[in-house]
Amino acid sequence: MRRAPAGGMSGLPVRARRACRALFAACALATALPVTAAGTERLCLAVIGLPENKALTAAPLYAEGASFTVTYLHATTRSPVRETYRADATGLTQVEIRFAQPAAGLPTAAGPGETWQREGDQIVVTMARRFDGVRLRVRAEQAPMLDVAGRQTALAQWGDRLVGLVPTACSTGAK
């Protein structure tokens, strides 16, 4: 499973960067956050099928700044990885990643303002990496799972593919 590079989408080809920016801009523009009767914003996390930009599902986050996790088995080591993100109306912030074995695509040291520590058999990296949205290449054998407010979604249920996670306004059909 692969994420967008830590610096955003700079590692992607120009056409892919443009498509991602267009997707994220369209989601943000078309779904300006509605205000509920209580006066609070209703924020959801949308799972988008890429490259066709098809909405696959959405899960309510219930509050601005709510967190969610993505778990999977690393493609090489087959050991579990747990990534934690916080969402707001303008994007996602990766706040933590936990793993047992260092491997390709995982942090090798703490960056500026980050921490790197061992907790039992886990390496825990805390961070504040900002993204417009996150692109994930999911494969069934890696058992990718999204957990939003206790609601788990198997990301491979739509097949081995590329998906995007983006904050968006909740629609009446989002569950």
The 10s digit of each residue's pLDDT in 79-116 is 999 999 999 989 999 999 999 999 999 999 888 999 99
**CA 174: distance to chain centroid?**
17
Is the confidence at residue 30, as pLDDT, over 60? no
Predicted pLDDT of residue 64: 81
The better pLDDT of the pair 69, 21 is held by 69
pLDDT tens by residue, 109-132: 888 999 999 999 999 999 999 999
Q: Is the pTM of this model over 0.95?
A: no
Residue 147 is predicted with a pLDDT of 97
Contact 60, 174 (CB under 8 A): yes
Residue 57 has pLDDT above 50, yes or no: yes
pLDDT at 40: 46
**What's the token pair of residue 80?**
């579990």
Question: Read out DSSP for 88-102?
Answer: ETTEEEEEEEEESS-
